[in-house]
Amino acid sequence: MSQELVSVIMPVHNAESFLDESIGSILHQTYSYWELLIVDDCSTDKSPSIIADYAEQDSRIRCFKTQAPSGSPCLPRNMGIEAAKGRFIAFLDSDDCWLPHKLEEQLPLFEKSDVGIVYSDYEKMTERGERSQRVVKAPACADYRQLLLGNVIGCLTAVYDTAKVGKVYFENHSHEDYILWLSILKQGYVARNSGKVSACYRVREHSVSSNKWKALSWQWDIYRNVEKIGFLKAAYCFVHYAYKAFRKSMT
């Protein structure tokens, strides 16, 4: 795994306050064979110039831009996936960051033939970047049936292996990352947790994911209209999901 390229996809929209920290966390990875594909979703702040400066300094950083504001990370991420050259695809939003050993710790887990996704635990931080040991712990392993009971894979921690599962793209749907993980595990692969805290998630007051009532309705829609699950099974999964979501929110 030491010579396998990792393509890191970073969608950006008006993130000038956080870009230095996010990009810097990739630059400081102990595993150095990566490329960073930054896709600017028509930012109106200083984000484009910050991105251009980093790309000029490091040839591993490539810049892209959407034709119009998409209002969702799906299109920018898909643009990045399409342009990616690496065997492995990883994701980092422009307001989050990785810890230095993330890739080094995760890639060895792909040596098992049934592993399609590797993820990790992560720590919450405030909007100002303050950490306080609020760690979101995930199970050691998840298959498709287990993941239906709730998303345990933080997008900022996830890496998937295109050599096994191919390039998989995001659907333009709420909880798009969860749908992508399900589509990979439905092929018969499993997801493994490195067992380490490898990333920091910035909790922002007005983030999309902070609206819990919307999240509940999105989850039900995924069960019924995306995964096409029957009502009783969907209700069973939904109860488990709601309980896990409540516990995560208390972390």
| Mean pLDDT, all residues of the chain | 94
Assign 128 to helix, strand or coil.
Answer: coil
Supply the pLDDT for residue 2. Answer: 66
Interval 1-36: pLDDT, tens: 668 999 999 999 999 999 999 999 999 999 999 999
Lowest model confidence (mean pLDDT) among 116-125, 127-136, 177-186: 127-136
Mean pLDDT of 149-159: 97
Confidence check: pLDDT of 221 > 70: yes
Assign 198 to helix, strand or coil.
Answer: strand
Residue 65 contacts by C-beta under 8 Å, 6 or more apart in sequence?
Answer: 39, 40, 41, 42, 48
3-state SS track over 228-249:
CCCHHHHHHHHHHHHHHHHHHH
**CA distances (Å), 50 to each of 15, 38, 64, in order?**
10, 11, 13
Q: Is the dihedral of CA 230, 167, 136, 194 positive or negative?
A: positive
Interval 184-212: pLDDT, tens: 999 999 999 999 999 999 998 765 455 67
Assign 47 to helix, strand or coil.
Answer: helix
* Residue among 50, 68, 56, 57 at smallest CA distance from 10: 50
Interval 66-78: pLDDT, tens: 999 998 999 999 9
Q: Residue 4 in contact with residue 33, Cβ under 8 Å?
A: yes
The predicted model scores a pTM of 0.94
Provide the residue type at 92 as one letter: L
Supply the pLDDT for residue 40. Answer: 98
Q: How far apart (Å, rounded) are the C-alpha atoms in residues 199 and 26?
A: 11
